[in-house]
Amino acid sequence: MAEPIRVALAGATGRTGREVGRAIVAAPDMVLVAALARSHAGEHLGALWGDEAVDLTVVDTVGEAATQYPTVMVDFTEPDSAYPRLLDAVDRGWSIVVGTTGFSREQRSELARRTAAHGVAAALIANFSVGAWLSERLAEEAARFFPDVEVLEAHHATKRDRPSGTALRMASLLAAATRRDPDAIPVHSMRLPGLVAHQTVVFGAAGQVLTIRHDVHDRSAYAAGVLAAIRRLPSLGGRFVENLGDLMPTAKEPAP
């Protein structure tokens, strides 16, 4: 039997991090060996999650996590703290699975360069929900026939980046499909209490409107995509992946 994948999770006490962390703990082929969260360093993760069976002490740095020998770092935090942490993880030879958004083009290029240099893999995915990935595929097909399109995205009030990484990626895909500059695709953003993550792509044509809508009502929606990425990374040494479809199981493989 293969050894379980050893995972370190940055942002383990955040709302998305908790859901992703619980999924990692429940996965039979993974083990959560380190949890990072600066504001809760030194505290018991199980107590923070309300699950005393999770016996980990939260740490602050990659160096502290390294004592538990992870092979994959999962990060759901914010870009300013995540970027140096991810570079540190890659330099240690760990693969990275990143749901954090808001990185600059230069930062993404440097992460890609480092992963290639160290022969590890990186998955920087704007949205790990399978529904968001399928929405992209549907929108790319629709754009072939409906070039007039706008994107509306809405998130919880505390989300920092605006527009979201998911919306920017959708605009880029639509621009490529319609042979336009990404800035030519209008993107409208809302940040309100009561929302989680919602995106609508609206295509207009003479006498008709086509709408592709995806709603995340619970952050557990991201878990399946994250688990798929963790499992796929060992076979992607040196690759830098931004499309969830490159990480999903094939027809001959079990679903995540």
Q: What are the residue numbers of the active site?
A: 155, 159
CA–CA dist 67, 187 (Å, integer): 44
> Are 59 and 36 within 8 A, CB to CB?
yes
> Are 155 and 195 within 8 A, CB to CB?
yes
Taking the CA of residue 75 as centre, how many other CA atoms within 13 Å lie in the half-sphere pointing to its CB?
Answer: 33
| Residue that is written with structure tokens 């890659």 in the block | 90
- Helix (H) or strand (E) segment spanning residue 213: strand 208-216
Which tokens belong to 88? 């540190």
How would you list the strands of the sheet with 148-155, edge to edge?
187-191, 148-155, 197-205, 208-216
Taking the CA of residue 56 as centre, how many other CA atoms within 13 Å lie in the half-sphere pointing to its CB?
Answer: 30
CA nearest to 186, candidates 209, 208, 210, 203: 203
Q: How many residues does the chain have?
A: 256
CA distances from 243 to 105, 169, 247 (A): 16, 10, 8
CA–CA dist 143, 192 (Å, integer): 29
In the three-class reduction of DSSP (H, G, I as helix; E, B as strand; rest coil), residue 58 is classed as: coil
